[in-house]
Chains A and B, each alone.
Chain A
Amino acid sequence: MGGKTLTAKERMAIPRAKMPEQNPAARAANFEEVPFGLTPEQAMLEAQRCIKCRNKPCIDGCPVGVHIPEFIALVAEGKFAEAAREIKETNVLPAVCGRVCPQEIQCEEACTLWKRFGGVSIGALERFVADYERNNNLVKIPKKASSTGKKVAVIGSGPSGLTVAGDLILKGHEVTVYEALHEPGGVLTYGIPEFRLPKKIVKAEISYMERLGVKFVMNVVVGLTTTVDELFDELGYNAVYIGVGAGLPRFMRIEGEDLNGVFSANEYLTRSNLMKGYLFPEYDSPLPPGRRVCVVGGGNVAMDSARTAKRLGADVTIVYRRAREQLPARGEEVHHAEEEGIEFKLLSNPVKLFGKNGRVVGMECIRMKLGEPDDSGRRRPIPIEGALFKIECDQVIMAIGSGANPVLTKTMKDLELNRWGYIEVDENNRTSMPMVWAGGDIVTGAATVILAMGAGRVAANSMHAELMGLPQPVTEES
């Protein structure tokens, strides 16, 4: 089919590709990845669906501006490795983004075909070409600009830090990434479960960055092991990027939250993903399987926690205070969770946890109704007086968001923060301190991998300009 030119009508007649998946009953008992990925034939057929429209709205829909129609055209020709390289011009983590980006509200939603035919499966194609390139050992190291002699320190090895590192190393700067934990990747490593993002893929992306020349230093908590001042004054860095994530778990401040069996989603997911608690006792960090687990919250982190608990053998209920339409999680995640047998208790909010011998045994909730829209534009949940009910449970996972972790920022007296403790930046992600940039969740509060990468891209361009004495890029205030 490669060389044949199809008419737009013929292209639109091709049914939208769907990745085959593990069946729900099987996957609810293992930690293997859920979708299998497209076959080369499926990918080439799906790529034919792109009608090559002139205005390329998909690119505008992508926070890092991946050259989407260009890479899809290469897929259609069967040039998969070339397609992967085309993506890598603007996105250092295609295998990750192909899996965890919410394409349905970004590139795919922007696709001209979206409304009538369903957008081109850009995410599945991105994942396919990145996997193809990696699995066939076709990963090439791009040519770097000649050395500028400038040194950049990146604090935090999550998606925004990796983007900054990847961009700046190609521009000829010397880049070192500092990570507080013992494995690089930030939320990609400790937060997102194996069944959604296999850790071998994160490792491969990191090793690609290492081959580009990025240095990774683990087990350094900037703020405690060293300080930003020392990075400049003693280690001779010319610029610093702060991408440390939000990293302060929120609790509800209700009675019983300090009982055993009550976890923040951060703790639960870190025990599972980073510490491999689901392989206990082969690995030493315990993550005891619950019998009945309640997960409080309705975002992607809540879905990840619920699906992890399910895989450990629990009956799982998601308790969310608004209605189904307001669930902040991706539709695909909610769908997967439902397929796996996770129960949703909507319009319900915990008010109290019960304990016995120091261990949680149940939760009291109040029913909610929806009122007028609040600041977020979503209808405000209002408790229905007296409408209390109990759920029996032996584990509770609080997945209600994160705040700004102050470990680093409190050691930087001249760094301007907003009233919630997040770092204030301008449209180029510059902070109030000279030669210090910041981006990702420590600026915006908890958001997505790709938005953090978008912020990293903006910062990297600005850092490069500043380091080279060029005018600052003109960036639209978002």
Chain B
Amino acid sequence: MKGTIVTNEQVVPNLRRLVLEAPAIARRAKPGQFVILIPDAEGERIPFTLSDWDASEGTITIFYLEAGVSTMKLTRLKPSEAVHTLVGPLGKPTEIEKFGTVLLGGGCYGLGGIYPLARAFKEKGNKVIAILEARTSYLIYNEDRIRGVADEVIIATADGSRGVRGHVWEAIKILEDRGEKIDHAHFVGCTYMMMTSSRATQLAGIPTIVSLNALMVDGTGMCGCCRVIVGGETKFSCVDGPDFDGHLVDWENVFARAGAYVGEENLAYQFHQSRDDGAIKDDGCKNCGKEAV
């Protein structure tokens, strides 16, 4: 059945690889596209970047960070169980052209997300340099697969435990210093990484695409939840993107919109955890002395 879980495993702390049966999506998926899934009947519609697919097996792969209610629910799903809803592939595919040297930068779920890009850019005849960013050495994953298709892989860790100390933008500087001519850059990951990396390539004059990860509801252009400002114009990430020119994105707006529901997200997380722990029963309050109702 579509949406059945084949694999749901932790690859590095708190970050998981999910392989789902989805023959119709696997058949049409292209690099840069995403899917929307709903974990269970009460769940929300959440977009995930497609990190791999296998048309013959009829499966797709996504990576996710457990960061809230929806991903907590995903973590609990076991093989042979199914997600409530799975739809895709959505969004415009990335334009894969022969640019010359292509720089890919990934962080967080983007270490998964840049793999199909690396593969496609390589197949198109580009030289592919991939920068993999993480807070620390043991949070790097998917490295072997990316090494399998990229010409060069640079590791960047915030604590300097492996490779370049710092972020993607710092690794870009090193490439510049050694005189590497980069013709095209593409970043997938957290907003902060995509913004700082785009600033670095802007200074260096490298055309840059970012795969934005806006909040979405329907994912087909119907609701406008995922709007972003690019070059002064409002665009919908789900149908006009998710790829946009990293030098034209209004990053302040992207940050603000990403945080639109932070309060609700925390509340929902606590609500579910306390309910799961059985702690929702009222024991009164030890601090103020309020008695149980």
The docked-state distance in angstroms from the alpha carbon of A248 to that of B220 is 9
Q: A270-B222, A281-B271, A407-B239 are in contact. Are A251 and B234 (CB under 8 A)?
A: yes
Question: Could you tell me if B28 and A225 are in contact, using CB atoms closer than 8 angstroms?
Answer: yes
A249 in the interface (beta carbon within 8 A) = yes
Q: Nearest chain B CB to A180's CB is how many angstroms away?
A: 5
Given the complex, which residues of A lie within 8 Å of B45, measured CB to CB?
182, 275, 285
Instruction: Flag the segment in B82-90, B145-153, B175-183, B184-192 that touches A.
Output: B82-90
Give the interface centre of B25, B261, B263 by most chain A CB atoms within 10 Å: B261
Are B224 and A180 in contact, with the CB atoms below 8 A? Answer: no
* Stretch of B5-13, B36-44, B52-60, B131-139 that contacts chain A: B36-44
A420 within 8 A of B: no
Residues of A within 8 A of B89 (CB): 224-225
- Judge whether A313 is part of the interface by a CB distance below 8 angstroms: no
Contacting chain A: which of B105-113, B199-207, B251-259? B251-259
> Shortest beta-carbon distance, A156 to chain B, in Å?
11
CB interface residues, A 267-289, toward B, < 8 Å? 267, 270-271, 275-276, 280-286, 288
B222–A284 contact, CB under 8 A? Answer: no
- Bound CA–CA A282/B44 (angstroms): 11
| CB–CB B234/A267 < 8 A | no
Interface residue? B160 (CB, 8 A): no
> Taking the nearest CB of chain B, how far is it from the CB of A215, in angstroms?
15
B221 contacts A405, CB within 8 Å? yes
Q: Find out whether the CB atom of A251 lies under 8 angstroms from the CB atom of B224.
A: yes
List residues 100-149 of chain B with CB under 8 A from any CB of chain A: none
Given A180-B87, A218-B85, A284-B43, A248 and B69 contact (CB-CB distance below 8 Å) = no
Cβ of A225 and Cβ of B42 under 8 Å apart?
A: no
B265 in the interface (beta carbon within 8 A)? yes
B227 at the interface (CB under 8 A from A): yes
> Which of A34-42, A258-266, A367-375, A379-387 has 4 or more CB atoms under 8 Å from chain B?
A258-266
Which residues from chain A contact B292 at a C-beta distance below 8 Å? Answer: none
Cα separation A282 to B272 with both chains bound (whole Å): 9
Measured between beta carbons, the chain B residues less than 8 angstroms from A358 are 252-253, 255-257, 259
- A residues 179-216 near B (Cβ < 8 Å) are 180-182, 190
Residue A118 lies at the interface, judged by CB distance under 8 Å to chain B: no
Residue-wise, chain B 18-42 has the 8 Å CB interface mask toward A (1 for contact) of: 0000001100100000000010001
A357 to B257, alpha carbons, bound, how many Å? 11
The one of A190, A258, A266, A281 in contact with B234, judged by C-beta atoms closer than 8 angstroms, is A258
Q: How far does the alpha carbon of A258 sit from the alpha carbon of B226 in the complex, in Å?
A: 10
Q: Assess whether A258 is in contact with B220, with CB atoms less than 8 Å apart.
A: no
Cβ of B111 to closest chain A Cβ, rounded Å:
26
The B contact surface, by secondary structure, is: mixed
Q: Are B38 and A258 in contact (CB under 8 A)?
A: no
Shortest Cβ gap from B183 to chain A (Å): 29
A267 touches B225 (CB 8 A): yes
* A221–B218 CA distance with the chains assembled, in angstroms: 11
- Measured in the bound complex, the distance between the Cα atoms of B239 and A313 in whole Å is 33
Contact check, A280 vs B268: say whether CB atoms are below 8 A apart. yes
- Residues of chain A in range 399-413 having any CB-CB distance to chain B below 8 Å: 405-407
Q: How far is the CA of A218 from the CA of B45 in the complex (A)?
A: 14
Query: Does A46 touch B at the CB level, under 8 Å?
Result: no
Q: Which residue of A lies closest to B84 (CB)?
A: A182
Query: Given A221-B90, A258-B253, A284 and B221 touching (CB < 8 A)?
Result: no
Q: Does B67 contact A (CB under 8 A)?
A: no
For the complex, give the distance between the alpha carbons of A282 and B256 in Å: 26
CA distance A288 to B239 in the complex (A): 25
Q: Do residues A288 and B223 form an inter-chain contact, with CB atoms below 8 A?
A: no
What separation, in Å, do the CA atoms of A282 and B280 have in the docked complex?
13
Q: Which of B43, B218, B252 has the most CB of A within 10 A?
A: B218
Residue of B nearest to A223 (CB): B220
* B253 surroundings in chain A (CB, below 8 A): 258, 358
Residues of A within 8 A of B228 (CB): 258
Which residues of the other chain, A, contact B263 by a CB distance below 8 angstroms?
Answer: 288
Q: A258-B227, A260-B257, A358-B259 are in contact. Are A283 and B42 (CB under 8 A)?
A: yes
CA distance A175 to B118 in the complex (A): 42
Residues of B within 8 A of A283 (CB): 42-44
Q: Is the CB–CB distance between A407 and B221 below 8 Å?
A: yes
Given contacts A283-B42, A407-B239, contact A267 B223 (CB under 8 A): yes
Q: Which listed residue, A226, A260, A275, touches B256 by the CB 8 Å rule?
A: A260
Chain B residues closer than 8 Å to A259, beta-carbon distance = 256
Evaluate contact between B217 and A226: CB separation under 8 angstroms.
no
B260 within 8 A of A: yes
Cβ of B221 and Cβ of A248 under 8 Å apart? yes
B174 close to A (CB within 8 Å): no
> Given A218-B85, A225-B88, A225-B89, are A284 and B268 also a contact pair (CB < 8 Å)?
yes
A61 within 8 A of B: no
CB–CB A221/B220 < 8 A: yes
29 pairs from A and B in contact (CB 8 Å cutoff)? A181-B218, A219-B87, A220-B24, A220-B87, A247-B222, A248-B221, A249-B222, A249-B224, A258-B257, A260-B257, A260-B260, A263-B225, A264-B224, A266-B223, A267-B225, A270-B217, A270-B222, A270-B223, A275-B217, A276-B42, A280-B268, A283-B42, A284-B69, A285-B217, A286-B264, A288-B264, A358-B255, A405-B222, A406-B239
A257-B234, A258-B227, A406-B221 given; name 13 further pairs at CB < 8 Å: A180-B87, A220-B87, A226-B28, A251-B224, A258-B228, A258-B253, A260-B260, A270-B217, A275-B217, A280-B268, A285-B45, A405-B220, A405-B221
User: 10 tightest A-B contacts by CB?
Assistant: A358-B256, A286-B264, A267-B223, A219-B87, A182-B85, A285-B44, A264-B224, A284-B44, A281-B271, A260-B260
Interface on A for B, CB 8 Å cutoff?
180-182, 190, 218-221, 224-226, 247-249, 251, 253, 257-261, 263-264, 266-267, 270-271, 275-276, 280-286, 288, 357-359, 405-407
